[in-house]
A and B are shown apart, each in its own frame.
Chain A
Amino acid sequence: AQSVSQHNHHVILSEAASLELGCNYSYGGTVNLFWYVQYPGQHLQLLLKYFSGDPLVKGIKGFEAEFIKSKFSFNLRKPSVQWSDTAEYFCAVPNQAGTALIFGKGTTLSVSS
């Protein structure tokens, strides 16, 4: 069965620090991978997605993620975080039917100014 594992529950960084959030997946079909972000008080938004092609995917607000098939990983990165990046981040994969998303438990990122 498909599953997603996010290793970091809570990450605390200072502004300008680099960020990497881990995501590992177990998935039997064509690999589609997503990162969603939930800012405080706001709805869940798509940060970036991988369907095929270049394994390095660039998303909004300077985020990127790299799909490494051999490691079943899709880690999220940002070279220099800002206070406004404080949010909850979720990695997700489609379910077997491709109709819904299976989310990881999420990583809370706190950025201090």
Chain B
Amino acid sequence: DAGVTQSPTHLIKTRGQQVTLRCSPKSGHDTVSWYQQALGQGPQFIFQYYEEEERQRGNFPDRFSGHQFPNYSSELNVNALLLGDSALYLCASSSTSNEQYFGPGTRLTVT
């Protein structure tokens, strides 16, 4: 049973560029949440997708957007990248329970 998978593992982008990160949830899970983990900090909630719609959003600007597909996989898009967007981006999936299963993350470096 595959857990949560994310791609790519690492990514280097330049300020002002756009980036797309991908996530496949754990089998049987229909809800995907995205978190940003800056160096030395705990993960911060970006948004959550359920039934292909954004169900809830954390305190992140509109430059951060997402999508969920019919197979429950999800994308996180960040436009107009800033240096401060450099972080580990985590995807977590869940079903009816509160328990969230995390993927290995995508390390984004903005130069």
Contacts and interface: CB of A to CB of B under 8 A. Distances in A.
Interface residues of B, number: 24
Interface string A71-113: 0000000000000000000101011011111111110000000
B41 interface: yes
Contacts of A104: 42
Contact of B104 (A36, A43, A92): A43
Interface of A: 4, 32, 36, 42-46, 49, 51, 90, 92, 94-95, 97-106
Nearest to B41: A105
A106 B93 CA distance: 21
A44 B48 contact: no
A100 B56 contact: yes
A49 B49 CA distance: 23
Contacts of A51: 98
Nearest to A6: B42
Contacts of B41: 105-106
A13 B10 CA distance: 32
B49 to A, nearest CB: 11
A43 B103 contact: yes
A73 B68 CA distance: 36
A36 B41 CA distance: 13
A99 B90 CA distance: 16
